[in-house]
């Protein structure tokens, strides 16, 4: 104890303190032989560590040489870990800090390293965007509390994911999965991460958790990205057998079965469909190609492999999707006569078997689409004539400028003044003018008959 006081007294009694800025005396650098490659400093005399009593002020650079390598003090691996920890520490010691403050900071860092901090305090640091170390959380209970704190405080997704990845790295598979099962939010973030980075691991995790339907859908998405048709078929066949053994719902099994049929059709009929489809074509795109190749809409043969009706049945394409696809393809091909066979069908239950117009999409949408594609007025009139509401028919007919449909709507509304106004705007002796004259006569005749009946009553 006395020696320490004497040493401190030496520095206090020294008539001149050490100053880095003091340039009155030059340091003889030539007397030092610095070997960069070996990591050693060669000088004279005894080594620095040989005599603890020698002071820095009396150090003689001209003494006999010695070798001191940093590798003899710390291994390369430990040095790298030390540098990494220092670079990641957000509590760097700033320059000019007082010794008392520096001591407090160092004690706090050591405490955070040796003792487990509060999970909520760590979560708050993550919420503030600070870098923290999770290695101090050793036990399973501490790790659970850390994850719960991060979820409770509402940390961003990247902070939550960093904690989850730490748990994945330090826990066994069973404990890790059990922890995720009880925390759906953490499970969702982890699955999202795996689905983007490690799809196979995401599929395996879903299967381990008993989520076979979700695993099947994710695996099906990966299969659809394969460009090789044989590889796709092999994967789908393996999925079919796996789904049957793992309680995958019937709907998903139907999707797989339909995909197998679609790939087989594309593979065998690509040339006959004029290469309009490929391995990445959707069922609706294949339907469009089949509509383009179909030559008999009046009496369709559903036994043909490229029959649009057969394809809809195999691929579970809805009636609305079929109507919209067939309408667009036939209109684009200007095969307007086929639209009557597509939408005017013979009901099997009707005794007289009269054709009835039937469409599974909005009539307004169909009319506007045909008008935009330049369909003839007669084709547009066929669709407008099947609208039941006279007021709606009148508004839509004016929009697409279908004169006959306008006259029909005004006739149904018994609006003679409007009919007379329409007649004056039509060309003389035109077909539409004659049609309007007949409509006016019918409205007036019905009105006269109705009025006569009212008078008799």
pLDDT in tens, 195-230: 888 999 999 999 888 888 898 899 998 988 888 888
**Which has the higher per-residue pLDDT, 159 or 46?**
159
What average pLDDT does the chain have? 79
Give 267's contacts (C-beta < 8 A, 6+ positions apart).
229
Greater model confidence, 99 or 323 = 323
Q: Which helix (H) or strand (E) holds 40?
A: strand 40-42
Which range in 109-123, 174-188, 246-260 is most confidently predicted, on average pLDDT?
174-188
Please state, in angstroms and rounded to a whole number, the distance separating the CA atoms of residues 423 and 132: 84
Alpha helix segments (H runs only) across 62-156: 76-88, 99-114, 119-127, 140-153
148, 179 in Cβ contact below 8 A?
Answer: no
Contact 306, 313 (CB under 8 A): no
CB 29 within 8 A of CB 16: no
pLDDT at site 108: 65
Please enumerate in sequence order all residues whose Cβ is within 8 A of that of 112, keeping only pairs 6 or more positions apart, or say none.
Answer: 133, 136
Q: What is the pLDDT of residues 143-180, one digit of tens each?
A: 999 999 889 888 888 888 999 999 999 999 889 999 99
Mean pLDDT of 237-242: 83
> What pLDDT, on the 0 to 100 scale, is given for residue 69?
62
Beta-bridge partner residues of 35: 40
Inform me whether the pLDDT recorded for 438 exceeds 70: yes
Calculate ∠ Cα 414-416-417, nearest 5°: 135
Does 64 have pLDDT greater than 50? no
What is the pLDDT confidence band of residue 429, given thresholds at 50, 70 and 90?
A: confident
Reported confidence tier of residue 280, pLDDT bands at 50, 70, 90: confident
Averaged pLDDT, 49-76 = 52
Q: Would you state the pLDDT for residue 85?
A: 46
Q: Which residues contact 210 (CB under 8 A, 6 or more apart)?
A: none
Q: Is 405's pLDDT higher than 90?
A: yes
SS (H, E, C) 375-427: CCHHHHHHHHCCCCCHHHHHHHHHHHCCHHHHHHHHHHHCCHHHHHHHHHHCC
Q: Between these two residues, 124 and 71, which has the higher pLDDT value?
A: 124
pLDDT of res. 449: 54
């Amino acid at each position: 104890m006395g020696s320490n006081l004497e040493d401190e007294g030496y520095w206090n009694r020294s008539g001149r303190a050490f100053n880095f800025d003091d340039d009155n005396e030059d340091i003889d650098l030539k007397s030092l032989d610095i070997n960069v490659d070996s990591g050693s400093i060669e000088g004279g005399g005894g080594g620095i560590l040989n005599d603890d009593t020698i002071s820095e002020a009396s150090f003689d650079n001209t003494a006999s040489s010695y070798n001191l390598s940093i590798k003899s003090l710390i291994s390369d691996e430990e040095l790298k870990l030390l540098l990494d920890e220092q670079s990641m520490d957000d509590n760097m010691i700033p320059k000019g800090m007082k010794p008392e403050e520096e001591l407090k900071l160092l004690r706090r860092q050591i405490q955070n390293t040796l003792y487990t901090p509060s999970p909520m305090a760590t979560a708050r640091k993550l919420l503030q965007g600070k870098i923290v170390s999770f290695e101090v959380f050793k036990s399973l209970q501490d790790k659970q509390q850390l994850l719960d704190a991060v979820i409770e405080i509402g940390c961003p997704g990247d902070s939550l994911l960093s904690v989850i990845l730490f748990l994945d790295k330090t826990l066994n598979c069973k404990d890790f999965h059990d922890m995720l099962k009880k925390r759906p939010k953490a499970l969702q973030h982890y699955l999202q991460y795996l689905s983007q980075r490690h799809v196979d691991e995401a599929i395996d995790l879903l299967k381990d958790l008993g989520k076979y339907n979700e695993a099947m859908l994710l695996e099906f998405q990966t299969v659809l990205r394969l460009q090789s048709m044989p590889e796709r078929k092999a994967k789908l066949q393996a999925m079919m057998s796996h789904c049957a053994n793992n309680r995958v719902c019937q709907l998903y099994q139907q999707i797989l079965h339909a995909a197998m049929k679609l790939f087989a059709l594309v593979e065998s009929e690509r040339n006959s469909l004029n290469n309009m489809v490929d391995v990445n074509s959707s069922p609706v795109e294949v339907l469009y190609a089949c509509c383009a190749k179909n030559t008999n809409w009046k009496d369709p043969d559903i036994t043909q492999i490229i029959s649009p009706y057969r394809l809809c049945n195999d691929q579970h394409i809805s009636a609305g999707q079929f109507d919209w696809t067939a309408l667009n393809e036939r209109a684009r091909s200007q095969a307007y006569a086929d639209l009557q066979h597509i939408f005017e069908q013979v009901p099997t239950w009707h005794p007289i078997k009269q054709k009835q117009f039937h469409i599974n999409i909005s009539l307004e949408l169909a009319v506007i689409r045909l008008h935009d594609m330049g369909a003839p007025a007669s084709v547009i009139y066929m669709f407008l004539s099947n609208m039941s509401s006279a007021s709606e028919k009148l508004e839509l007919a004016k929009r697409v400028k279908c004169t006959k449909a306008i006259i029909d709507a005004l006739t149904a509304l018994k609006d003679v003044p409007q009919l007379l106004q329409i007649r004056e705007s039509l060309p003389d002796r035109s077909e539409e003018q004659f049609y309007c004259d007949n409509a006016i006569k019918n409205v007036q005749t019905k009105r006269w008959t109705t009025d006569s009946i009212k008078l008799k009553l």
